């Protein structure tokens, strides 16, 4: 049947479905928990710095995707050991944004 030829343009049902933890290509220091981008977008603001103490639910950064602002939050508490992003940076789904130990 004739299609529009979109090919590989598939959208996951939920952006959070890519929590497989395949971060072998990212240089992570220590045994920290990585916080990944749940979708492709642009970093509007970074709310934490290395050394900051965060609690579960704290906003780490704001990601703009499809003209919507999305808070990226810590899933657990700890100390921010790495901030791998900066304002204005484009990120892809699965990119590591922050490491919390």
Q: 18-75, pLDDT tens digit by residue?
A: 334 444 455 776 778 999 999 999 999 999 999 999 999 999 999 999 999 999 999 9
In 3D, which of 64, 75, 61 has the Cα closest to residue 19?
Answer: 75
pLDDT at residue 11, rounded to an integer:
40
> What is the C-alpha to C-alpha distance for residues 36 and 13, in angstroms, rounded to an integer?
17
What SS3 state is found at 15?
Answer: helix
* Dihedral sign (CA 30, 19, 80, 55): negative
Q: How confident is the model at residue 5 (pLDDT cuts 50, 70, 90)?
A: low
Check residues 72 and 3 and name the one with the higher pLDDT: 72
CATH tag, 30-100: 2.40.50.100
Q: Does 6 have pLDDT greater than 60?
A: no
What are the sequence ranges of the domains in the chain? 30-100
């Amino acid at each position: 049947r004739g299609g529009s030829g979109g090919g590989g343009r598939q959208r996951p049902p939920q952006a959070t479905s890519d929590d497989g933890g395949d971060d072998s290509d990212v240089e992570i220091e220590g045994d920290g928990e990585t916080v990944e981008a749940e979708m492709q977008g642009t970093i509007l603001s970074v709310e934490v710095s290395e050394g900051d103490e965060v609690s579960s639910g704290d906003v780490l950064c704001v990601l703009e995707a499809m003209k919507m602002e999305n808070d990226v939050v810590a899933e657990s508490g700890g100390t921010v050991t790495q901030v791998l992003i900066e304002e204005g940076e484009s990120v892809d789904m699965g990119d590591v944004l922050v490491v919390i130990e």
